[in-house]
Amino acid sequence: MSPAAYVFLSVILFVIGGVGVLVRRNAILIFMSIELMLNACNLAFVSFARLHGNLNGQVVAFFVMVVAAAEVVVGLAILMAIYRARRSASVDDASLLKN
């Protein structure tokens, strides 16, 4: 299988993730979509690393995983706090900073 197919898969996954971020209201699902986008990126990095024959992309993929883990920790903590305060995980309810 050509590595190009992995790149196309990565694009498809990224778009699914992006649409998910835009259309879902539930914060958990938005998080999952973000994770999907990040992993689509990882897939692209790894594929390009394979295509170019060096390890740079694979190293960056590890960094992305670490950052994603950290982000999920912080994000879920905020999410927990909001849910406890408002009994809702909908992002549209948490729009009090407008105006």
Q: If binding is defined by CB under 8 A, does position 96 make contact with other proteins? A: yes
| 70: Cα within 13 Å, side-chain hemisphere | 5
Rule CB under 8 A: say whether 69 interacts with other proteins.
no
Give residue for tokens 């905020």.
78
22-61 positions binding other proteins, by CB under 8 A: 22-23, 25, 30
CB of 64 to other proteins, least distance (A): 16
Could you give the C-alpha distances from 53 to 56, 59, 60, 74, 94, in angstroms and in order?
9, 13, 14, 35, 46
For residue 95, state whether it binds other proteins (rule: CB under 8 A).
yes
The dihedral over CA atoms of 22, 28, 29, 32, expressed in degrees to the nearest 10, equals 100
Smallest gap, in angstroms, from Cβ of residue 5 to other proteins? 22
| Chain residues that interact with other proteins, rule: CB under 8 A | 18, 21-23, 25, 30, 91-92, 94-99
